[in-house]
């Protein structure tokens, strides 16, 4: 897998970009306007770095994703290399939050996470444990093996169902016996939601009919 690293200015304060250049073998993208930037060169070559990286990506993974970055992405703010690349890419996006437990539980953060899920972005939620700030709770970056697995799973998907229209039903049902009695089941709808998600990720146009109390899919 060829890896290109984008860093925010705050991330570069914590880890030198040179470390990621050694690890990836590629240039680290940090500044929208690097030293010596000349707009005339852009117009002559018709090449903009964050657009090229966005088009080249098969998956965009934001690891870790701070509350600030999540908020900016949820509201379409593009003021650095990372957020402009996010807006420009059509690749699947995986966001891996990491922050203080109170920041994670804050209603504003949870609303932003909900909004991103509704747009089809995969969220690998943080795990519970001891946090860098000394607090203990949910907010710890998920294990790297799990994140790596999810990235590879996205890369291995294909568009085998592109152009197909698929109808899926899920959740509990009731069947009337008479005016008083009925037969019902306690189906959660998890299987139907999972099938719908997979079909969607493989390029299909999916219509999911689910019962009112069944599990909602991650993508809408």
Confidence of residue 212 (pLDDT cuts 50, 70, 90): confident
Say if CB 91 and CB 58 are below 8 A apart.
yes
Residue 216: what pLDDT?
81
Average pLDDT over residues 87-116: 95
Residue 68 has pLDDT above 90, yes or no: yes
Residues 110-154: tens digit of each pLDDT:
999 999 988 888 999 999 998 888 889 999 999 999 999 999 988
What DSSP character marks residue 34? -
Query: Nearest to residue 174, comparing CAs of 211, 148, 144, 128?
Result: 211
Query: What is the pLDDT of the chain when averaged over all its residues?
Result: 90
Residues 10-46: tens digit of each pLDDT:
999 999 999 999 999 999 999 877 676 676 676 666 6
pTM here is: 0.74
Q: Exposure pattern of 23-51 as b/e (b: 16+ CB <10 Å)?
A: eeeeebbbebeeeeeeeeeeeeeeeebbe
Residue 162: what pLDDT?
85
Residue 70: what pLDDT?
97
Residue 108: what pLDDT?
97
Catalytic residues: 133
Confidence of residue 209 (pLDDT cuts 50, 70, 90): very high
Residue 198: what pLDDT?
87
CA distance 56 to 23: 19
């Amino acid at each position: 897998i060829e890896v290109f690293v984008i860093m925010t200015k705050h991330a570069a304060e914590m880890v030198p970009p040179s470390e990621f250049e050694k690890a990836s073998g590629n240039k680290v993208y940090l500044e929208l306007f690097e030293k010596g930037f000349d707009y005339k060169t852009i117009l002559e070559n018709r090449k903009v770095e964050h657009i090229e990286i966005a088009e080249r990506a098969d998956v965009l993974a934001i690891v870790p994703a701070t509350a600030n970055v999540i908020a900016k992405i949820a509201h379409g703010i593009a003021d650095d290399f990372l957020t402009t690349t996010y807006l420009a890419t059509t690749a699947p996006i995986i966001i891996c939050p990491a922050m203080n437990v109170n920041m994670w539980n804050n209603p504003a953060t949870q609303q932003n996470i909900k909004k991103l899920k509704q747009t089809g972005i995969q969220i690998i939620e943080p795990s519970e444990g001891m946090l860098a700030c000394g607090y203990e709770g949910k907010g710890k970056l998920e294990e790297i093996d799990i994140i790596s697995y999810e990235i590879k799973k996205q890369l291995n998907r294909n568009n085998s169902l592109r152009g197909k229209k698929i109808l899926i039903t899920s959740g509990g049902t009731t069947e009337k016996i008479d005016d008083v009695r009925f037969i019902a089941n306690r189906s959660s709808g998890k299987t139907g939601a999972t099938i719908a998600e997979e079909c969607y990720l493989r390029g299909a146009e999916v219509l999911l009919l689910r019962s009112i109390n069944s599990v909602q899919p991650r993508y809408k």
